[in-house]
Structure 1
Amino acid sequence: MGAEPTLEQRLRSCQRSAVHLELRDCYMRSDPRFIAWQNGVRNAPEDNDPALRPWLTLVAELVGRGVEIRRARIVSEPVSDYIEFEHHVTDANVTAGEQVRWLPRRQASDIALPGNDCWILDDRLVVFHHFGGDGELAPDDETFTDDPATVKLCSSAFEAVWERAVPHTEYHPARRR
């Protein structure tokens, strides 16, 4: 039996939509871009240049062939330093064609949410991401399912969050003072 396709391969096979629900306040604190940002580096080429940030090229490619890409982030407020960084670098995602919205966690209390971040691809497949408590990827960082009940739960959760969330250009994160 062959290896499972990667998330990138699955995204490239999308025909209509790829939506991503993010639930954590901290990811990959070891990311060199985050470390540079913490040290005062803003608008580094690797944040905005598709040649240095392959995700931006992939988004532009998918959107260019008609795939709608949406990302909804549920965040605690005041936001963590990582979410502040994420907000700062999201302009490039939006420029590439990704639609991004933010929902303060307090406004998500009555939404049934999956236990992990997930991608829902073409309303038929869910890719779950698994992280350790420190925000780093777990050794078994992705699992996939096409179980209809799971796809329905994740799709419903995403759409409920999307309805309430604030578009990226209008969201101003509450910061610690």
Structure 2
Amino acid sequence: MSLSAARIDELLRSTRRSALHLEMRDGYMQDDPAFVEWKAGYRLDPDDRQSWWRPWLDVIAETTGRGVEVRRARIVSEPVSEYIRYEYDVTFPNVAAGEQVRWLPRRNASDIALPGNDFWLFDGKILRWGHFSGDGDSLGGELTEDPAAVKLCAEAFEAVWDRAIPHDQYTV
């Protein structure tokens, strides 16, 4: 796999130990059809797995099924934005697929050295930055194995994770 061409799903499929994902924005892709439907009142039914299971969750389930630890931490402003309320409501499928998710109120992250962008860190060595517009639209990603950037992100993630609240204990 070429690092320059790798997608997140490909990186997950080649991960052996851990995949860490830090999200720090209060909104993403405001025109996402699923978000638009949610704003109109549609809610996922936890009892109707077939209606919410999607290919991304197959990747997560396959990855965690191989024993890879997949952890996602979200730093959020409170009171939460409408988008974060949506994310919270649609996180249970990620948890069902084996991903661990925690939430950290932004006020509790003030003294943590954080990178300037969201990221994925695979096996503690391959870092994928996520780039977004001011409105939260994806502008793509950038891969690096720079040791200083990897160290910053690994330490930032663990500091956030230690303070964050597990999804099943966090309320919006």
TM-score interval, smaller chain: over 0.9
1:110 is matched with 111
The one-letter code matched in structure 1 to 2:145 is D
Gaps of 5+ in 1: none
Matches within 5 A, 1:54-73: 54-73=55-74
1:144 is matched with 143
With the length of structure 2 as denominator, give the TM-score of the two structures.
Answer: 0.93
1:159 is matched with 158
In 2 relative to 1, CA 100–127 (structure 1 residues): closer, same or farther, beyond 3 Å?
same
**C-alpha distance after superposition, 1:136-176 (max 9, x if no partner):** 112xx100010111100000000000000000000002xxx
Stretch of structure 1 that moved more, 51-60 or 142-151 = 51-60
Residues of 1 paired with 2:62 and 2:82: CA distance?
30
Residues of 2 paired with 1:128 and 1:2: CA distance?
13
Residues of 2 paired with 1:113 and 1:171: CA distance?
22
Percent identity between the two aligned chains: 57
With the length of structure 1 as denominator, give the TM-score of the two structures.
Answer: 0.91
3-state SS of paired residue (2:143): strand
Residues of 2 paired with 1:122 and 1:50: CA distance?
32
Matches within 5 A, 1:15-34: 15-34=16-35
Gaps of 5+ in 2: none
Cα RMSD for the two superposed structures: 1.9
In 2 relative to 1, CA 34–110 (structure 1 residues): closer, same or farther, beyond 3 Å?
same
Matches within 5 A, 1:1-150: 4-43=5-44, 49=50, 52-138=53-139, 141-150=140-149
Q: What stretches of structure 1 move > 3 A for 4+ residues in a row?
A: 47-52
Residues of 2 paired with 1:117 and 1:103: CA distance?
14
Deviation of 1:100 after TM superposition, in Å, equals 0.1
Deviation of 1:78 after TM superposition, in Å, equals 0.4
Residues of 1 paired with 2:86 and 2:143: CA distance?
28
Residues of 2 paired with 1:149 and 1:49: CA distance?
43
